[in-house]
Each structure stands twice: as structure tokens, then as C-alpha cells.
Structure 1
Amino acid sequence: MLGNDNGVSRRNILKLAGASVATAAGSGLAAAKPGDTVEVNIGFSSERGRSLALDAADHVVRDFDSLNIVTLRAAKQAVTALDKNPNIRYVEENGQMHALAQTLDWGQDRIDSEVAHANGETGAGADIAIIDTGIDDDHPDLSANIGSGKSFVACSTKGGCRYGAKPANNTCNYSWTDDNDHGTHCAGIADAVDNSQGVVGASTDATLHAVKVLDKCGSGSFSDITAGVEYVADQGWDVGSMSLGASSGSSALRDACQYAVNNGVFLVGAAGNSGPCTDCVGYPAAYPEVMAVSSTNSSDGLSSFSSQGPEVDIAAPGTDIYSSVANGTYDTFSGTSMATPHVAGVAGLLMANGYTNTEARNQLASTAEDIGLGSNESGAGLLDAAAALGLDSSDST
């Protein structure tokens, strides 16, 4: 729920949780016997050096004309001798680097998203609208899934914001480009591509739509948001994810929510970050048309900031969630804002299988896991993607 997320956990960009680029170590070359064939990169400083390197080669793998480098295979004793020649800048083993690992965030693991993916459930064919600050249109984890966008507020990264909010370091390629980070973070949780880098979403192959109703400072009027919800309904999209809210409601926005649900949209909203509190669910999540989501931590407890109340329908992970942010990077945020797109992504999986919005909502509630929290805290329980799809949570192969 934007507006109350300030001050909660926000970790360093590109925090990779141990994933790193492997160094091209020289242990293979060092361990080789003199007559063994090794593959090396040789940097030379003159044509004489280049000739010496090529003369030593059993096989030339690649010749970098512009860089004064050749990659070749040769006997170890031949390349070792080259390393002492003044025309040779260096001889190094042609080691390997590895792609940065893709992270399965604890939240996705907790709701068994990976079980759904392993069983071919990717959300292909579903349309998920992120009603938020926009989406980073060229983020490597999102761009393949982005369908279209619409903006009801201006995209701008110039100037500051009141209350300490900071615009994202991004370029407004489109009017709906994310200039804040928040919408991109939510989009990654809902539907980041399974591409061996960055993060993976609850859904991985649904079509994402950026409906920008919040500006660079994370603010939007009731009218802006109402227009966004109406627009989603008029497009015939399946899911509208709203990680936004206020302590008071709006009749106009309530009308739009009713209109959207009547037109087949599954609406999900953040319960709010006013906790610890009771009976404090914000709007639009408090409307009966919207599935209200509270937040849990990695210990299955209610997040300290999560709002509670009888309007809460379901809980999902929301503390320290690692996902995409603007400018093609990643960060860790906390909030019911982060819990909400978990539900949106799983709803996308269901609606890709032909569920209506009402059926998807009922299925999510009826298959939620009891984690011992009260209904005022977690509604029907914790979101369970595998159970919602009728899958065995142990079947992830």
C-alpha cells in the first residue's frame, strides 16, 4: 500500500544473495602437464607478439583484431614460454563466467509458485493490470511480458517530492513508464519472466499492463485511480492489482470497482500498512468487490505493519520481498503492497485456466493454508498457489 511504505525495509539495489560472477581462475592451467593442451587468451603488444602466439597455436579459437588478443589452444609448455616474451602482455587461462543466478524469493517459495511453474502453469493467456506507478518498460525481467500501458498521471523524474519520497532513476520512455519503483516491484512479484536471471513471479507468462495512476511521488487522486480501474474493465483484462490505498473511501472509486467486477475483472488490493492495529483496513481493499490482502513474514507471522480487520480476505508474503525496480535493477521492499501482487499473479494462473473472476476469488480463499492467524489477520489463510491449482506441493519436478 503506497504512501505508508516509507520507512520500511529497502535494501541495496542488486543485492544478489550470494550469486556472483565466477572468476576465471588459473588452477586448470597451473595443474596441466607441460605437454597437455590448454585453452588460453593471449594479449600481445606488437605484430611480432601476434605472430609468436599464432605460431604456437594448435588451433585458433578467436582472433580479436581490435583488441590485440587471440584465443587459442596449444601445449602448456608453448604458452608458458610465450608469457616471458616482451611482445606478450599476458597469457591467461580461458576460464568461464556464469550468468547471475535467478532468485526464487522466499515469498514465491512459501506460496509454492515454483510447483505451479514446474507443472506448466505459467499464466499464459491471462492479462494482469498493475494499477500503480507504472512499469519499467525495458526491465529484463518484465519487458517480454509487457503488453500495453495507459497513464492517467504524468511521468516525470525531475524535481523532488514532499514527505521524503524520491523519484526513480529512470527514463520516461512512455507516459506509463515507472518513475517511482513501486509499480515495477509489484509487477515483478506478479509476473516476472522465468529467464534464469533476476527474480521470478507468481505467474511468469501472463501479459502485464501498466496502468499508471500514481505519480513519481506515489500519489494519485481518487479520480485518477477511478479512471484506471474503469480502463482495466473496458479492456476486458482479467486481473487488476492495486497496491495503493487511503484511510477513507471514495464513492467514485467504489463505483469503478463495482463496474470492473461486473465486467469480469478480479480486483485485489492491499489491506494497508497501519499496523499494529485492528479494524483498520484501507480503501479500496475494504470494498467487498476487492480481495483484501494482509501481509505475512517468513515465520508465517503477521507482518508488524499489516492492517487488520474483518475485511481481510487472504494473506500473502509481504515482509522483505526481493523484486524488480526501475532502471533494470532489483531491491527489497516490505508492505501489504508486496503481498497483493502475489495474489494477483496466482489469480492470473487460475484465470488462464478458464476461471471467472468470482470463481478465482472463491478458489483462492477455499484453498488458502491455515497458518494459525485469526481471520481478522489473514482472512481465509495464507495464499497457496499449488493448492489453488489442485497440485501436490511436493511435485516440483
Structure 2
Amino acid sequence: MTYTHILTRPVRFFGFAALAALLAAIIFAGAAFGTTVFAAPIERTDVLIGFKNIPGFAEHTLVRAHGGAVTKSFHLVPAVAASLPSAAIRALERNPLVSVVEIDGEFTAIGHSVELDNTWGVAHVGAGSVHHDSVVGTGIKVAIIDTGIDYTHSDLGANYAGGHDFVNGDNDPMDDNGHGTHVAGTAAALLNGAGVVGAAPEARLYGLKVLNASGSGSFSDVIAALQWAVDNGVSVTNNSYGSSRDPGTLVQAAFDNSAAAGVLHIAAAGNEGNCPGNRNTVGYPARYASVVAVAATDKNDKRPCFSSTGPDVELSAPGVSITSTYLGGSYATGSGTSMASPHVAGVAALVMAAGEQSASAVRQILRDTAKPLGDSNHYGHGLIQAVAAVAAVGDSSPPPDDSEPEPEPEPAPEEPTDEPDTTTAVVSDISYSTSGGRTNDRHLTVAITISNGDGAPIGGATVSIDLHRNGSRIASGTGTTNSSGVVSFTLKNAQTGCYSTTVTDVVAEGAQWDGFTPSNEFCK
């Protein structure tokens, strides 16, 4: 038997008689179907909630008890992302299970200007010379944390190995902005005699989409991407986005913990500099000690005025008039520290392919072999040097075997994830049906199926959803799955339109929700 719950619409104000009738109808519906009745929408805030332990059933229940809905749950850091009534924040901060509550703010792609010019950066840092020695980054996993990757591009497709779209909650990180595709090409465009070539033209590219079509995305999606990178054995990440304000302790912990797990993080220093270069303008995450902050240089090894400055600048790379891959199989030229950062990410992959697998050792090699350019607040240790960096790997050892830089076999590109387990709760299906009326389409029912990582149904899970019509939220509901893992919600007298469902929370004893809602839509 499938449990059915009535979805509740936001309450509007009526006259006393109408309000009394409405309340009577709600009470009747609740008695008939066991529905929880919700109050009118209240002011809510997107937050990151840190706990003293990895969040599980008790922590999720605590958030729900304060009127919140968990949107993501993490194990890289002991935290969840949640939508919380603003008035409940202080109460949660005082709870002994909670270590911190921080705003889930926004990162933005570090902008660039587009103009026509010839590519030059990869050659300028010496990567082309390394390619001639057959060091091309073969098999090194490089994740582009950005707006996604246009993996249909002829200069990227063969190197694309998979990824995840954290903005839309699916495994298709197709770029809908262009920024991520441009960055990806500088890091690892193919050496194929056409278009452009990346610094590491045989690296395995993973697209982790955290920024939307407008180039902005949440702190929590970045944490989720870092967690994905660790779980899937990524060696290098490129982070060409930033925030001028400190995102807080949980975002920093996510970078620190993933770096400690062996991931080398490369990031754009930012485009907030001035011509004198006399201010500390490096943004986040580049400012974190666990991240390499990369400044931009031009063809004359000079810093452009836009390149951010400060004591956290670690390395420099070409970032003026950089031509790379773009949407629809095209190419574009951009300037910015966003363009400088992937040069360093690519060279880091070359060093790893040459035999040095330790992220901390690779970072030190990049520093030690950089070409000094002047003021360290402007250039850090200096311009990245691919030839010297690769040569520094195992000076006393024989040349590396570039044909097999990774001893373990690669996972299938479409499924680079952990094996399923019984401790993960997933939304495995969302289906729609209609009933009632002369044409049997008056009422709309949404059925949600919850299962574990092995595909077995989870009964007794509490599921909360938002229902949208034509892109606008119209109703919310909470219900409990039956023994088949199914819970159903019914919207009475559903109007014509296109409906979609977002799962906002799943609480299941012994299992942690993975935070994702599969794509779904139903039009009537």
C-alpha cells in the first residue's frame, strides 16, 4: 500500500467565514490522509551547519526540529547545508551537537575579457618542450571546478573522463556558460595538431559543475565538489572562481581536509588588483594556506593591473590574451587569473606524470623551480617553469615510464564513484500520475521512491519536498515512505502547467541522504 499525503499551498488571508471553512477543510484532509499541516512560508536562510561528529540521523533530526531542511550532507567535513528559518539560527548555535552555523554564501567565476589573439601561454611556461619528451600528463586526474565542461568539443572530448553537476543534481556537467570550458582547454586540450594545446594534453579531465549559467554558485556546492574529488581519486583541482569575503571555517576545512587527503588545489588569485599593486586583494579560496594562489602575467612577464596582490600569492602564470576552447566547438581569448590558474594545474599534472605523486612535494617543486619576477606580493615565487619542474623529479633516478604513470586501472568514465552501500539514502525515482474529474486529470500525485546504495527500498524514511509549477514553488509536503520505499503526495485540483519536484530533505535511520534530486518534469 502506498501512503498518500496532501500537498499544502502557501496560506492566503481571507475573511473570517472563509478562513473557518478553509481550516475545517484542512482538518478534514489531515484526518483522512494523516497529513502534516504547514504554516505560511517564513523567512529562511541558506546555511552551513557544522557538527562535532559526522552528521547522521540525530543531526538531521535536530535540523528538522528547528524547522530546517537539509539540502546536502557531507563527510569531508562534519557538516550539512540546510535551509533554516532565520529565527532558528541562534537556537541551533547553542545546541551542544553544533560547532558552528555559517551562511551558505556565493562564489562567482573570476571574470575575463574576450578578444582575438594567438595562444602563447602554454609555450611560454615551457610545457611544449616537456611534451616533446613524451611527458604529457598521461592519466593524471584533473578536476575543473567551475561552470562545467563542453565535453563535445573536439579538443577536449578524448580527455573528458566524467564528473558531476552539483547545480542541477545530475551526472552531466555540461557547460552552459563557457568559463569552465576555456579553463579546461588551457589545462588539458588535446595535442592533435588542431586548435590549441593544453599544458597537460593527456590528463584525464573531470568536470565538477558548481557555477550556474550566470557564473555563480553556492559555498555548499563547492564543498560537495571537493568531497567528490577526494572520493574519486582526483589528483589536482583547478578553482577559477572566488569570493572577496571569507566563506567561513567549514569551506576552509573542506579545502584543508581534501588537501590533507592528497589533492593539490590550484586557484586564481583574483582580478581585484590595482596598478600600483599595493593592496592585499587575493580572494577566497586562493587565500587559504591549503590552496596555491596564482597571479597573472603578460607576454613580457609583467603583472597586469587587474591581477590581485598580497602575501598569499604563490605562483604566476600567463593570464593575458589566452586563447582556449569554448562552447560549441569554438575558441575564444580571455584575460584574467582564471586563465593563469589552469597553466599551473596542467604543469602540476606533468610533474605527477613524471613520477612525483605527492601533492605537497609537487607544490614544493613548483615553488622551487619558478622563475623569480620581482615583488613576491605580485608574483609569489615567480613564473611557473614546466621544464625545470619536470626535471626536478627524482634527479638521481632513471627517466620515468610515461606509458604507465598510474598503477591502478581507471574506473569507467561514466561511473567514477564509490561502490554502493547500505548507508546511503538516494531518491531513486520520481513519478507523476493524475486522477479525478471527467478526464481523470483533476488531481496530481507525485510518488517518491527512496532506496539505499544497493537499490533496496528504505521504509520509514521521512521525505520533504517542494512542488513547482512553471518554475515557481506552489506547495510543500512531508511524508513517510512505506515498506516499498514509496511516499506519495497529492495536489488537489492541480492547475494546468508543467510541474517539477525538488526533494529538500530525507531522514532515514542508519542511512544518510546523498542530497540529490533526479531531474523530473510532468506537464498537464
When normalised by structure 2's length, the TM-score is 0.52
Tell me if structure 1 keeps the 8 A contact 2:272–2:307.
yes
Select the residue among 144, 147, 154 that pairs with 1:140.
154
Q: Quote the residue 2:234 is aligned against.
A: 237
Q: Quote the residue 2:131 is aligned against.
A: 117
Aligned equivalents of 1:330, 1:320: Cα separation in 2: 12
Aligned equivalents of 2:110, 2:227: Cα separation in 1: 25
Give aligned pairs, total.
281
Larger relative contact order, structure 1 or 2 (CA cutoff 8 Å, min sep 6): 1
| AA of the residue aligned to 1:349 | L
In the TM superposition, what are the counterparts of 1:16-27 in structure 2 within 5 Å?
none
Aligned equivalents of 2:198, 2:214: Cα separation in 1: 25
Asked if 1:303 corresponds to 2:407, the answer is no
Asked if 1:249 corresponds to 2:251, the answer is no
Residue 152 of structure 1: CA displacement?
A: 0.5
| Structure 2 residue matching 1:389: 3-state secondary structure | helix
Q: Quote the residue 1:160 is aligned against.
A: none
Structure 1 window deviating more from structure 2 (353-362 vs 183-192): it is: 353-362
| AA of the residue aligned to 1:282 | G
Q: How big is the alpha-carbon RMSD for the aligned residues of Structure 1 and Structure 2?
A: 1.7
Select the residue among 270, 273, 279 that pairs with 1:272.
270
Asked if 1:199 corresponds to 2:196, the answer is yes
When normalised by structure 1's length, the TM-score is 0.69
Q: Quote the residue 2:180 is aligned against.
A: 183
Task: Flag structure 2 segments of 5+ consecutive residues without an equivalent.
Answer: 1-106, 393-524
Tell me if structure 1 keeps the 8 A contact 2:143–2:208.
yes
| Structure 2 residue matching 1:121: 3-state secondary structure | coil
Select the residue among 348, 358, 361 that pairs with 1:359.
361
Task: Flag structure 1 segments of 5+ consecutive residues without an equivalent.
Answer: 18-104, 156-172, 392-397
In the TM superposition, what are the counterparts of 1:338-353 in structure 2 within 5 Å?
338-353=339-354
Tell me if structure 2 keeps the 8 A contact 1:268–1:290.
yes
Aligned equivalents of 2:339, 2:110: Cα separation in 1: 12
Tell me if structure 1 keeps the 8 A contact 2:280–2:308.
yes
Q: Hey, which of these two has a bigger chunk of strand by percent?
A: 2
Aligned equivalents of 1:328, 1:2: Cα separation in 2: 24
| AA of the residue aligned to 2:352 | M
Aligned equivalents of 2:172, 2:262: Cα separation in 1: 27
Residue 333 of structure 1: CA displacement?
A: 0.6
Tell me if structure 1 keeps the 8 A contact 2:190–2:202.
yes
Asked if 1:221 corresponds to 2:221, the answer is no
Tell me if structure 2 keeps the 8 A contact 1:2–1:337.
no
Q: Hey, which of these two has a bigger chunk of helix by percent?
A: 1
Residue 2 of structure 1: CA displacement?
A: 5.0
| AA of the residue aligned to 2:304 | S
Aligned equivalents of 2:214, 2:132: Cα separation in 1: 38
Aligned equivalents of 2:109, 2:209: Cα separation in 1: 15
Q: Quote the residue 1:30 is aligned against.
A: none
Q: Quote the residue 1:9 is aligned against.
A: 113
Asked if 1:127 corresponds to 2:128, the answer is no
In the TM superposition, what are the counterparts of 1:164-175 in structure 2 within 5 Å?
175=172
| Structure 1 residue matching 2:391: 3-state secondary structure | coil
Tell me if structure 2 keeps the 8 A contact 1:230–1:259.
no
Aligned equivalents of 2:203, 2:271: Cα separation in 1: 28
Tell me if structure 1 keeps the 8 A contact 2:108–2:211.
no
Q: Which runs of 4+ in 1 moved over 2 A?
A: 1-4
Over residues 101-157 of structure 1, what are the superposed CA-to-partner deviations in whole Å (9 max), with x where a residue is unaligned?
Answer: xxxx211111011011001110002100000000001100000000011111039xx
Tell me if structure 1 keeps the 8 A contact 2:147–2:212.
yes
